[in-house]
Amino acid sequence: MKFDFKKYHYRGMNAATEQEKAAINQELKDLYASLTEEDKAIFNQELQHFMIHEYANLTNSFESVKDVKADE
């Protein structure tokens, strides 16, 4: 099983309201609740991988911007 966390992440980033963000989070919670214990383990592992990857991307972007500012 492969979960598409990027889809939820982008929808959450582009949500127009806090209520819309909450609804997206509830979708994820409902999805998780519907999974078997085996699939929950996969979900958690894939979510952790996604979050680490996104954090690394954010850190790289921040470092790039910081380096540009330092050169000015």
Query: pLDDT confidence of 66, banded at 50, 70, 90?
Result: low
Query: pLDDT confidence of 50, banded at 50, 70, 90?
Result: very high
Q: Look at residue 16 in the predicted model and tell me its pLDDT.
A: 97
Angle, to 10 degrees, between the axis of helix 37-71 and the axis of helix 5-13? 50
* 1 SS3 class: coil
Structural contact between residues 48 and 7, judged by C-beta atoms closer than 8 angstroms: no
pTM here? 0.72
Residue 24: count of CB within 10 angstroms of its CB: 19
